[in-house]
């Protein structure tokens, strides 16, 4: 499982939110700092890019086609890769300090997205839930919201605060969308990488990208560190399962944070890497409205 290869040499400033589309055999991801949504087709290796007017932090595919996405100014839907944006929710936070970051849908089709608070002098990063035209604030105790994922049975929600090196779990009611009983799941020591975006496999293991840690960590549902896998970039940002058997782990990375000397050593930083695993991931849930 050390077969790590670059599949999209995107040279993205800040590649995030890799998302597998099993219906079309393609991988989507964003470049937050470049205001871009990317689509990479595995059928013909075609790489398409859509440019926006502001940062796109995360997105999910919609049930029936199209996207829901969280931008700095709020949440929008669009019916195709190049479709017109339709406002779903306009941000009620200070957009000069806050923007959306990591997110995904729960198994019932609600869209969850977290914000990052750039000054990092208060825990103002929030985790929002969007469903049926309504917005709910589930948590507001982070500097930078990341690592959102769900256990295979949907009863546990994972959520990390990257700058503080900690991953939390919540009890999650998939019927009502309520998150409760927040507790610490895993904490990484300072100085060796911070938990960023994540995904869960069918066995319930939590896979997290360690930003500034040059590796991916696999953590058991009980909170035990099972394995770590090196990545040819210092700043991996998020992982996603994909491929025909859902046994490929796609890894997004950041280029902008590397120094010139580091880029000599890691020339494909900012790309999307892939690693073959012996465990399958979960299919990504789609937004139901």
Please say whether the dihedral angle defined by the alpha carbons of residues 275, 276, 279 and 280, taken in this order, is positive or negative. positive
Residue 107's closest CA among 156, 45, 67? 156
End-to-end CA distance of the chain: 38
What count of Cα atoms within 13 Å lies in the side-chain half-sphere of residue 123? Answer: 9
Q: What is d(CA 220, CA 52) in angstroms, rounded to the nearest whole number?
A: 38
Which residues lie closer than 8 Å to 239 by C-beta, 6 or more apart? 18, 197, 198, 199, 207, 208, 209, 216, 249, 250, 251, 252
Q: What share of the chain is helix, strand, coil (3-state, %, to 5)?
A: 5, 55, 40
Q: What is d(CA 19, CA 210) in angstroms, rounded to the nearest whole number?
A: 18
The pairing of beta strand 156-161 with beta strand 236-242: unpaired
The pairing of beta strand 272-276 with beta strand 248-253: antiparallel
What backbone torsions phi and psi does residue 20 show, to the nearest 5 degrees? -85, 135
Residue 33 is given by DSSP the state: G
Edge to edge, the sheet with strand 56-61 lists: 56-61, 67-71, 74-78, 86-90
Segment (H or E) for 265: helix 260-265
The residues annotated with a catalytic role in the active site are 196
């Amino acid at each position: 499982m050390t077969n790590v290869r670059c599949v999209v040499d995107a040279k993205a400033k800040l590649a995030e939110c890799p998302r597998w589309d099993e219906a079309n055999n393609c991988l989507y991801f964003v470049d937050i700092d470049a205001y871009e949504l990317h689509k990479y087709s595995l059928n013909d290796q075609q790489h398409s890019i859509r440019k926006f007017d502001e940062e796109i932090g995360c997105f999910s595919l919609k049930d029936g086609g199209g996207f829901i996405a969280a931008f700095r100014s709020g949440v929008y839907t669009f019916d195709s890769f190049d479709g017109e944006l339709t406002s779903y929710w306009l941000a009620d936070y200070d957009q000069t300090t806050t923007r959306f970051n990591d997110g995904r849908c729960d198994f019932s089709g609600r869209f969850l997205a977290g914000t990052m608070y750039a000054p990092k002098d208060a825990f103002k990063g929030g985790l929002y839930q969007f469903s049926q035209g309504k917005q709910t604030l589930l948590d507001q105790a982070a500097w930078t919201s990341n690592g959102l994922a769900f256990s295979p049975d949907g009863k546990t929600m994972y959520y990390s605060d990257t700058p503080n090196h900690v991953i939390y779990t919540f009890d999650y009611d998939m019927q009502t969308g309520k998150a409760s009983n927040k507790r610490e799941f895993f904490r990484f020591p300072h100085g060796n990488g911070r938990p960023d975006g994540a995904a869960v496999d069918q066995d319930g293991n939590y896979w997290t990208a360690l930003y500034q840690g040059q590796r991916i960590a696999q953590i058991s549902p009980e909170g035990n560190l099972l394995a770590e896998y090196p990545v040819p970039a210092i700043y991996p940002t998020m992982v996603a399962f994909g491929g025909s058997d859902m046994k490929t782990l796609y890894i997004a990375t950041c280029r902008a944070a590397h120094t010139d000397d580091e880029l000599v050593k890691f020339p494909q930083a900012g790309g999307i890497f892939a690693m073959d695993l012996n465990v399958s991931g979960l299919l990504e849930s789609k937004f139901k409205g």
